[in-house]
A and B are shown apart, each in its own frame.
Chain A
């Protein structure tokens, strides 16, 4: 079902053997299954999850791989999703998106942490993160007459949409960071209160 849901789910392990899965915490009483993000699966509240005795946190990924962070009792785990909303102007589409699911463990009082993330990447980005356009597509765009006719506007919009929806890939990564100033995706300080942890 995780594979079918198309997204990862966290799963916490406790020292007494209990296992709590993200879908167990959904606020829809009779629908506690890993359903797709856009289904009526309700929401879960990590801030209300019992952290006492938590000794492991997994990220169950839709490609069948699970990442796990382990620690002794008293260590502090966190999780969050990263995404946003795009408001398109000039004919571009708008969208809500999620581009990373992150679990982490705080390693010491300096806030240093280790994270695993299931993140979206673009197949068409080069190593510098630049969009790579084929010369033919670039020539097509450049050759569109600049007069403001509806046909030209429609053609330009279609090409831009094609570029915007180039094939994306998801991958599992691991990285070190610091909860007091997350470099990952320029997030900055994490709000530790909503994670239910104190450093």
Chain B
């Protein structure tokens, strides 16, 4: 069974010029956290500050890569505080990383779920909105509401050429496409960010990575919030689904 021995998500807490990739999962106490405060470097999870529910929709501007419960820097922070505010132009943001043991049997899929149970997600559940992914009037540009969590992905493995610029369009809270979205194969991001909503909305790679070849796949993600969210502790899993032989 040619599965991978090492398969991780990594975040860049260095800079664009000098990336420093650190694992944000699956090892214990490695994770991503979001805040509306730029100074949440090395804060224990029990002391993580609450955010005030905003009166209008907005992005959650500061994203942190934690490698222990109280050890973490902001994304693209150069391992310095304060954390820089989110920018789509911070193109070396995050990536999936795998070793040379496994063989993909199809294109991998990037999405997010409410729990590791991967239960179906109700699109636009009745308010107050109890989770990050189902969406609400805050995230609804037309007939369909989309997730508060948006993702983007690069159109090829990084060994074929890593990103040298950010996506064309900055993410907005109403971004999303029902079902699968794929960047055009090659040196391309999705033009608009995709809603990450379990099996409802997700990103499919436009390629199947080469067999038994270590590589990485560049990603971007951006969290939004809005007045229709319910005060709560919000949790999420980001998932790479794949097949192997």
- Chain A residues proximal to chain B, CB less than 8 Å: 22, 37, 43-47, 79-98, 122, 125, 128-131, 146, 148, 150, 152-153, 156-157, 160-161, 163-166, 182, 185-191, 193-195
Interface residue total, chain B, C-beta cutoff 8 A: 57
Interface residues of B in 68-95 (CB under 8 A from A): none
Q: Is the CB of B199 within 8 A of A130?
A: no
Taking a contact as CB atoms under 8 Å apart, the answer to whether B244 and A89 are in contact is no
Count, A-B residue pairs, CB within 8 A: 178
Using CB atoms, name the residue of chain A closest to B105. Answer: A80
When distances are taken between beta carbons in the complex, the residues of chain B under 8 Å from A153 are: 46, 233
Query: In the docked arrangement, what's the CA distance between A98 and B48, Å?
Result: 33
Contacts A37-B1, A146-B230, A146-B232 supplied; 17 other A-B pairs, CB < 8 Å: A81-B243, A86-B26, A87-B25, A90-B233, A92-B237, A94-B237, A122-B117, A131-B120, A146-B231, A148-B49, A152-B233, A157-B233, A161-B115, A164-B117, A186-B109, A186-B202, A191-B106
Using CB atoms and an 8 Å cutoff, list the residues of chain B in contact with chain A.
1-3, 7-9, 24-28, 30-33, 45-46, 48-50, 101-107, 109, 113, 115-117, 119-120, 122, 180, 199, 202, 204, 208, 211, 230-245
Determine whether the beta carbon of B119 is less than 8 Å from that of A129.
yes
Residues of B within 8 A of A152 (CB): 233
Name the residue of chain A whose CB is nearest to the CB of B236.
A89
Determine chain A's interface SS by DSSP, over half rule: mixed
Contact B33 A89 (CB under 8 A): yes
User: When the two chains form their complex, are residues A89 and B105 in contact, meaning their CB atoms are under 8 A apart?
Assistant: no
Residues of A within 8 A of B113 (CB): 86
